[in-house]
């Protein structure tokens, strides 16, 4: 299943993130991501973004500018909602494949073996930055450690109070 649209949410009771994704045919799935998996994935995502800006001057200020530009392009959309009968599973691992143009996350379910279906989330640099802005906001609400985040994302979200809106 390759996501065409997805919504990220934080569940206070579960203390984990969920991705509710929808493919081109309208099929939906909810994938739970634990804090531990998220903390392992975030540095990989940030490194890929850092590589995307190699031709720009280095430093948090430039990353902040690029992040703010991506956030400015983010528009509110109706959330993806999973029906009660939609599949729901815990992500056990995430494969990260990259090209210069995009990053592809492949999320694998826990406890179902190698032949289990996976979910694919393709992201351009701009889409990844937008998603990270959303995840940063969710992470703040969750009370998870702010030390996971680089200052340029935290500052970008402070400068954009609409980050509290539900953006998907």
* Contact in structure between 71 and 162 (CB atoms under 8 Å): no
Q: Which helix (H) or strand (E) holds 137?
A: helix 125-142
Positions of the chain with pLDDT under 50: 162-168
CA pair distance 114, 108, nearest whole angstrom: 9
| pLDDT for position 49 | 85
Classify residue 83 by its DSSP letter. Answer: -
In this prediction, residue 20 carries a pLDDT of: 94
In this prediction, residue 32 carries a pLDDT of 94
Read off the pTM: 0.81
Reported for 102-105, long-range contacts at CB under 8 A and 24+ positions apart, including other chains, are 103/45, 103/48, 103/128, 105/41
Report the DSSP beta bridge partners of residue 90. Answer: 32
Q: Reduced to 3 states, what is the DSSP secondary structure of residue 131?
A: helix
CA angle 60, 101, 40 (to 5 degrees): 60
Q: In what order do the strands lie in the sheet with 5-11?
A: 5-11, 16-22, 28-33, 88-98, 102-109, 119-124
What CA–CA distances, in Å, run from 99 to 53, 57, 103? 14, 22, 6
């Amino acid at each position: 299943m390759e996501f065409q649209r997805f919504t990220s949410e934080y569940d206070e009771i579960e203390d984990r993130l969920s991705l509710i994704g929808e493919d081109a045919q309208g099929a939906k799935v909810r994938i739970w991501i634990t804090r531990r998996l998220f903390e392992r994935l975030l540095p990989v995502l940030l490194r890929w973004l850092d590589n995307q800006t190699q031709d720009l001057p280095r430093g948090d200020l430039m990353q902040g500018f690029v992040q703010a530009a991506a956030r400015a392009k983010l528009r509110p959309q109706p959330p993806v909602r999973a029906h009660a009968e939609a599949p729901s599973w815990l992500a056990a691992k995430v494969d990260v494949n990259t090209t210069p143009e995009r990053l592809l996350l492949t999320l694998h379910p826990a406890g179902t073996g190698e032949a289990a279906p996976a979910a694919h989330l393709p992201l351009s640099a701009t889409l990844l930055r937008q998603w990270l802005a959303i995840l940063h906001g969710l992470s703040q609400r969750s009370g998870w450690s702010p030390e996971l985040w680089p200052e340029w994302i935290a500052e970008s979200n402070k400068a954009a109070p609409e980050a509290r809106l539900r953006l998907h």
